[in-house]
Amino acid sequence: MPLGTLDRTPPPFFKQGPSALSKLMVFSAIALFLMVADTRFKLSQPLRAGVATVLYPLQWLALRPVLAARWTAEYFESRASAQANEEQARVKLAQQSLRANQVEQLLIENDRLRKLLALRERVTVGSVPAEVLYDAADPYTRKVIIDKGYAQGVEAGAPVIDESGVLGQVTRVMPLVSEVTLVTDRDHAIPVLNARTGARSVAFGDPTSSTGQLELRFMAGNADVQPGDLLTTSGVDGVYPPGLPVAKVAKVERRADSGFAQITCVPQALVDGARHVMVLANPSQQLPVRPPADDTPQLAPRKEKGPPGLRGGPAKDAKEKGPAP
């Protein structure tokens, strides 16, 4: 049989039908049409609702183990956190109870001593409660915004505290909100008193620390400062009432090549997580008015003339010697 008479068409079993490219174009057009129709006319919304209703029991059953494991983990985590918070609260309550038992006796002794020394009464400082709204937008400063302003009696320069210590100072006041500069800001300084030694110094915000710390500058290398010392407000600046906790000394470095010690302190207040604060009135505004200065002119003493050593001068010497013979 000659080769030209052979049938070269594939048998029906191997026929592929339309090409793969044709199928891709057809199904792509159908998918695009369905997407446009679903977007414009919501054709598949009833179908989706029915499928979701049918599959909801299966989804509910499938999520039970996941939710149970998550609830168990949250339970143990919250339980451990609650126990830790309770322990801290008990310790703080015991410390405050001890101080509360002593404060009445100390107030009586303080009142007696002030009467004995004829000192003026201690200035009573008013306060305004406030809530921290958000941090300031400037990333190079440590400032927060509180929800009290001129309308609530907040004034610029007023100190701000929380339940643990001094938080900062009001630096800008607006009608309904105020800006508070934290004690850890690089431009903030606060006079402090070492509760152990009674030495005064000034605590500055540490610009090199990213964790929010303070430093005592210009302290001599042999200064009596130890880690753990409590620093409180000294009250000499007339802004912060005396006795408020400010920070604790964390590290003291004494270097031979420098005459000053490098002292790092940790603030007592929650500078990174404070929520509710108290804005104190400026104590300098409650001090008694300074008496007016005496404007009576003072007569300058008359200067005596004459050589040193002679009290009365030539005229007096001549009178004492008498007339010349």
- pLDDT tens across 203-231, in order? 998 877 666 889 998 888 888 899 999 99
User: Nearest 5°: CA angle at 96, between 163 and 190?
Assistant: 45
User: Using one digit for the tens of pLDDT, what is the confidence trace for 134-190?
Assistant: 888 777 888 999 989 988 888 888 999 988 889 999 999 998 899 999 999 988 999
Q: State both tokens at 111.
A: 């009142």
At residue 310, does pLDDT exceed 60? no
Residues with Cβ within 8 Å of 302's Cβ and at least 6 positions away in sequence, in order, are none
pLDDT (mean) for 45-51: 81
At residue 291, does pLDDT exceed 70? no
pTM: 0.55
pLDDT at 317: 47
**Would you call 139 helix, strand, or coil by DSSP?**
coil
User: Nearest 5°: CA angle at 32, between 29 and 38?
Assistant: 140
Helices within 196-312 (DSSP H only): none
Q: What is the DSSP secondary structure assignment for residue 286, as one 8-state letter?
A: G
Domain formed by 127-286, architecture: Beta Barrel (2.40)
